[in-house]
Amino acid sequence: MDMQGASLTGGYDYQFVQTPPDMLICKICHLPSRQPYLTGCCGHTFCKSCVECLKESTILPSTCPVCRSEQFTHFPNKQNERVIKSLHVFCSSKEKGCEWQGEINDISSHLDDCLFEEVICPYNCNAILWRKCVNDHLENDCPRRKVSCQYCHITDELQYIKESHMEKCLKFPLPCPNGCKTSDILREDVDNHRGVCPLQEVGCPNECGATLHRQDCDKHINNECPSRKISCQYCQSMGDQHFIEGQHVELCPKFPLVCPNKCEAKGIFREDMETHKMECPLEVVQCGYRNVGCKAVMGRKDLKKHNQEEMEEHLSLTMSELVSTRGKLTATEQQLTTSNQQLALHIEQTSSMQTKFQEKIDAMECHSQQSVSKLETKLTTITEQALHTQEKLQAKIDSLERQSQMNIAKLEKKLQQTNEHIEWTANINSRASHIKNQAFPVIIKVPEFDDKKKSETNWYSHYFFTHEKGYKLKLNVFPVGRDSHKGTHVSVYLYLMKGPNDNDLTWPLKKRIQVKLLNQVRDTQHHSHAFTISAARRNTVEDDKKQFWYADKFISQASLYQATTDCKFLYNDCVFFEVSELLI
């Protein structure tokens, strides 16, 4: 933003309340002189910056531009400087309505508070407005002003509250998602409401597979659910309806049955049917003398009559069975006698075999003792071989221990190097943690370097100073490079900014500034570039991008990513720059 009289090159380009005397006017820029110099040849007044620019020119650099004297000498005129700085000027925003007028000495402090100066919105909404309109803008127009949510009272930017917060505000009122009559349900209570909503779809509590509204559950469970619990009308057992009315009826012990013999008994329980059959008069049974040959079959009620009528027949059959049984008993006794004789013979043979077996066992015991003796001899030989092998293994273990000690020594050395690297990195991080307001030398950390490179982000550092109460600078890094070097190099720019101490510093500025890309493994092999910065004037705005110095080919991408054991510029996705001053 250009302001009248803001240039640091040449004289004061302000609107003066009264026309300055001609003796105070620079004969080069034709403005009241800034840091006036008086010539020794003709006594005219020049600005210090105009004289220096004239010296750097290749056209008669040592000739007076007024009298053309080759003895062009000059020296500071402090008296004229005091007179010039006491001249009264109007504010550079006079045309906008500012009525201030005062000395040149005071205009810088006035511009810092001038209500008609254009400033950027403090909330960074990119609006540019007069300083007097800032409060009204922040209260009524700024999309990034702080407001409170009318429901949960959280405070944040207006744009965020309107566009994002309302979509997730827990106190925002909503209608029932199921369409019931309940309204104004807080978003955080929607799930709780679903737990009681009469129109919420739920599964049948009896797990019959039906899905229905919560308000219809009782009706379904009591009248429609095939899995509802009912009791058997005969045995009072509880169960699912489809089971009680289906499988249970086929098994119920109290279910009434009809006698399969069609006797006069009615309503016989299933569990009592077998007992009834044993007493049923119509049950078909065999004659009690079937074991002796009677094959008659009849109802239980006729059994007694049959026994009376067939008594003689039954007695005859019993006698015949008795005679037959006696003959079988005689034959069995004869077979038993024969078996006893065979058993005695077998016992005698077994005793003879036992004697032979004992003799064989004795012979085996003798042979076993001889085998044990041979095994003991062999065991002694094996033991000696094992001792010899143990000695060889011990020697090998000793060798491995010596090798391990050597490896441990190497690892300890490597660990020491790693610790030194960690200490060096921690020192860099500590020094780079906060650079704002620091003076040379400063360490600047650029985090998430690869992400900035992928997004082609133009990264700026915090401001810093050349020395305490010195010149204010800022570093600008292009991770992917600039212009024709984009993609092949990293570009670095150095900006001169308006500083709080500029009025007390020497102008024009001329310094040699070194920007160094640090090796994060060792405090050696850093990559550096020296900037020669010169400025004939100071800045009057916070971020004047017109005064800068650059190195578009600061370092190639290949060199940046080429890492060795002793040199890594990019480490843990970060790079570090050190900015310092060199002697001219």
Q: Give a yes or no: residue 154 inside a domain.
A: no
Q: For position 366, what pLDDT does the model report?
A: 84
Beta carbons of 506 and 514 less than 8 angstroms apart? no
Q: Name the helix (H) or strand (E) containing 224.
A: none
Q: For position 531, what pLDDT does the model report?
A: 93
Domain harbouring 82, CATH code: 3.30.40.10
- pLDDT tens-digit map of 58-87: 555 567 878 887 777 888 888 888 988 889
* Residue 244: DSSP 8-state: I
Across all residues in the chain, what is the average pLDDT? 83
State the Cα–Cα distance between residues 541 and 120, nearest whole angstrom.
Answer: 11
Beta carbons of 98 and 118 less than 8 angstroms apart? no
User: On the CB side of 486, how many CA atoms lie within 13 Å of its CA?
Assistant: 8
Q: Give a yes or no: residue 403 inside a domain.
A: yes
Q: For position 424, what pLDDT does the model report?
A: 67
Where do the H-state alpha helices sit in 462-531? none
Where do the H-state alpha helices sit in 443-530? 449-454
Q: Give a yes or no: residue 235 inside a domain.
A: no
State the Cα–Cα distance between residues 553 and 41, nearest whole angstrom.
Answer: 47
Q: Considering its fold, how many domains does the chain have in total? A: 3
- pLDDT tens-digit map of 366-414: 887 888 888 888 888 888 888 888 888 888 888 888 888 888 888 887 7
- pLDDT tens-digit map of 303-353: 788 888 888 888 888 888 888 888 888 888 888 888 888 888 888 888 778
Q: Specify whether 575 is located in the same domain as 443.
A: yes
* Residue 25: DSSP 8-state: B
- For the chain (584 residues), the mean pLDDT of every run of 10, in chain order, is 50 88 88 88 87 71 77 84 89 84 87 82 77 76 78 80 81 87 85 87 82 84 76 81 77 86 82 84 82 83 82 83 84 84 82 81 82 85 86 87 85 75 64 54 92 91 89 93 93 91 88 93 90 82 72 94 89 92 81
Q: Letter for the amino acid at 42?
A: C
Q: Give a yes or no: residue 511 inside a domain.
A: yes
Q: Give a yes or no: residue 2 inside a domain.
A: no
Q: Specify whether 365 is located in the same domain as 480.
A: no
State the Cα–Cα distance between residues 20 and 30, nearest whole angstrom.
Answer: 11
Q: For position 112, what pLDDT does the model report?
A: 82
- Exposed, middle or buried, 26 (CB in 10 Å: 0-12/13-18/19+)? buried
Q: For position 541, what pLDDT does the model report?
A: 65
Beta carbons within 10 angstroms of residue 39's beta carbon: 22
Beta carbons within 10 angstroms of residue 125's beta carbon: 17
Residue 39 is part of which domain span? 22-113
In Å, the largest CA–CA distance within the chain is: 182
State the Cα–Cα distance between residues 173 and 185, nearest whole angstrom.
Answer: 5
Q: For position 63, what pLDDT does the model report?
A: 77
CA-based nearest residue to 259, from 281, 234, 244 = 281
Q: Give a yes or no: residue 127 inside a domain.
A: no
Q: For position 479, what pLDDT does the model report?
A: 95
Q: Specify whether 338 is located in the same domain as 438.
A: no
State the Cα–Cα distance between residues 535 and 240, nearest whole angstrom.
Answer: 97
